[in-house]
Structures are given as structure tokens and as C-alpha cells.
Amino acid sequence: MGHAVPLVTSFRGERYADVARLSSLIAPPYDIISPEQRKRYAALDAHNIVHLILPEAPIREERYLQAAQLLAEWRRQGVFVTDPAPAVYVVAQVFTTPDGRRLARTGMFAGLAAEPYEMGRVRPHERTHAAPKQDRLSLLRATRTSLESILVIAPDPDGALLAGMGAVAGGARTPDAAAELDGVQISLWVVTGADALGLAESAGRRSLYIADGHHRFETAVAYARENPAADRLLSFIVSARDPGLAVLATHRVIYAVGRDLKPIMERWKRYFEISDVPADADRAAHLATLGQRGTACIVATAGKHDYALLLRRDAPLQELPELGRTPAARSLDAAIVERLVVQEILGAGTSTPTLNYTPDARTALSLAWEGKATAVVLLNPTPVAQVIAVADAADVMPQKSTYFIPKVPSGLVLRPL
């Protein structure tokens, strides 16, 4: 099916003029910044991007206006400069995973068509909520700028995109900018001309998959309806074949006073084989080994009394329509564990439970072992292939099924609309 409009294009980006101080000017995406972290980034530099992506004013409506005025002022002062030619921006991020592996992920900033999902060229795997979209739409209307990028995965079946970006990042050319953000080393190359067109074409040959940033994408589509000139948004595109494309599990931390797991475990036996986890076992490694045999999780409780649950081959999952509409969604560890393990614990008692999420297994386990949390449910990460399968089936994953690392830094490149 031919589309007149290319899915991915180069664009004239806007970047901080003072590349030497870039490390103190960039920040993570707005939605993972806590109030304490916002203070920390804001204190690094008066021009830190956090002042634009999370503006602070006593009245909410004034925040967006404040961000727009600040951006205009910074442009006048020459804090941001627009690149002379359309480009794509290849970025390498070198990082360490929580289990100590050193990885590099390469991607590129480009302009992505802000078009409805119905076109089938940009595919989601998540349901969104209205409030965050309203907030981002107000900011977009006020600033008329893509201040932050979404993270997008390109299937890249023949590896052409990965090879093309690798030639830039692994070549002899010195980066045009370098920075560090929270322990992640960042290098950026500005690619123009035929090379930029080639990379954009490689990235847009097939449908793309949103990994992070569903709210921002849908906001951009809504804004493009109001303002047809704003028909693209800033996206960071990574090849599905990149060995540095890392996904962490998001573990569940349950606070629910007075829950007795014994009767729940009796019900679990219908679906799972249950075993005790040896006290000295590395929990994540134990879970990864179990996961090779099927859907598994570890339920950790006070005093290191932890249980490993492995889905039985004869588990009657057909009784549970709420797991999802399609086989792709119904087979997800996150869907099965959420429904059969997490919700069972949450619903067991009379007190009102709270549920928190963290990608950090060590922190989660210590909360359970020290008795601060009622229970912690550890999951294996969702493979990228499953994310793509769910999106292709036009289904959705449970909330917090994936945690892609590292996050795409905000402030490396802006895209004026």
C-alpha cells in the first residue's frame, strides 16, 4: 500500500549552542522525573530543559504560558540555535544494566508522521489516560515545539538501519556533541544530505512501534488536527535488531495489611507449580531460568520466604477472558501474573491495598524481606518480539509491562513545528 507521505523524515533541529555544558542542560523524559529530581535538574543550570518540559507556576494554566515565554526568551538569547540543514541525529548511549552488563544502544532522532493509528504505520501496545494527554497538549499548543521525543522501534528485518547508524556511530568521525546523564554516556552525530535521506528511508520502510511515549504521540496527532503544519513529531528510532535495545521487567510491590498468602496459594496450585526459592539463590537468575520453561514469577515475602510460580502446562487459562482479546496478549507473562497473582493478593483482604512498580529487583526484594511491603512479585522482562506481536494484533499490554532503558534524554534536539 503506497503512501505519498514518507513515514520518517529529516528536519532542521534546534540544539543548545553551548555543547560543552550539555550534561547540565539535558534531563530524562518528563514523566519519570519526581519532584525531588526536578529540583536537582533545575538547580544544575538556569537553562536546563526541565524548566520547559515541567514548568512550575502557582496556577496550572500559567505554566504552559511560562514555558512558551521562556523558550522564546532563550531563542532570543541564542541559548538554542537551529541547524542550517535538515538532518537526522544519530545518538549512541552507553549504559550499565541493573545486573551489571555494559551495553550500547544506537538510535536516531527524526521527524515521525503524526497520523492516526488507523493508518497502521505507527502501532501502539498501550492504553492511555486523558489527563497526561491534556497536560502535554496544553504545553504543545503554547510552545509549538516538540520538546521531547518518543521512543520508537523499527523492525529492520535486514539490519540496514542498524548498519547505517552503526557506520555513523562506529566511524572515525568525532561526535558533534557529547554528554552524560545519570551515568549514561551520550554521543550525538548530525547527519545531513543523502546520508540523512537514506537513514530516514531505512527507518520508515515498515510500520513502526511505539516503545515509550504513547501519550506524546497521541497528543501530537490531536495537535496536528488543529494545526496541519504540525504534522510530525520528534521521535527516537531504534532498530529491533540492536543488541543494546534493553527492556527491564517492572516488578510489583504490594502494600496490603493483613493478607494471608496460604489460602491464596491453594488457589494458585490450580494454575501454577509452586516451589520454595532457596534462601541463597539469586532471585533474578532463578526466575530467568524458570522463565525458559514458561510463564513464571517469584513472590517474595518477609524473612526471605519466597515462592517460585511456574505456569502449569494444563492451566485452564481459557476460563479467563480478561487476559486479553488475542493470543499475543493472552500469552504475556505480565497479563497472566497480573491477573492470577497480583490481583489475587490485592483482593484477598479487607484493608485497601496499594500497588507500586519498580524495575529495580534488589530494592523491591529488600522491601519484602524487611517486612515493609506485604509481598513483591518479580517478573521476567517482556521480549521486544512480544511487544511487536501485541501491537500487530491491535491489542494492548497490561499497564507497566515494559521498562525500556536507557530513557531518551530530553534537550539533545528540539523540533520546532
Task: Domains for the chain: give ranges and CATH numbers.
Answer: 8-246+404-416 (3.90.1530.10), 250-380 (3.30.1760)
**Residue 149: what pLDDT?**
97
- Residue 91 CA to residue 229 CA, distance in Å, equals 27
- Residue 231 CA to residue 219 CA, distance in Å, equals 11
**Residue 168: what pLDDT?**
97
Each of the 417 residues of the chain gets a pLDDT tens digit; together they read: 456 799 999 999 999 999 999 999 999 999 999 999 999 999 999 999 999 999 998 888 899 999 999 999 999 999 999 999 999 999 999 999 988 899 999 999 999 999 999 999 999 999 888 888 999 999 999 999 999 999 999 999 999 999 999 999 998 899 999 999 999 999 999 999 999 999 999 999 999 999 999 999 999 999 999 999 999 999 999 999 999 999 999 999 999 988 888 899 999 999 999 999 998 999 999 999 999 999 999 999 999 999 999 999 999 999 999 898 999 999 999 999 999 999 999 988 778 899 999 999 999 999 999 999 999 999 999 999 999 999 999 999 988 899 999 999 999 999 998
> Buried (b) or exposed (e) across 151-188, using 16+ Cβ within 10 A?
bbbbbbeeebbbebbbebbeeeeebbbebebeebebbb
In 3D, which of 122, 106, 123 has the Cα closest to residue 245? Answer: 106
Confirm if 176 and 168 have CB atoms less than 8 A apart.
no
Measure Cα distances from 122 to 43, 105, 229, 390 in Å: 37, 21, 19, 13
The three three-digit cell numbers of residue 409, written as one number:
534524554
Q: What are phi and psi of 414, to 5 degrees?
A: -115, 155
**Burial of 356 per CB tally in 10 Å (0-12, 13-18, 19+):** middle
**Residue 1: what pLDDT?**
47
**Residue 2: what pLDDT?**
52
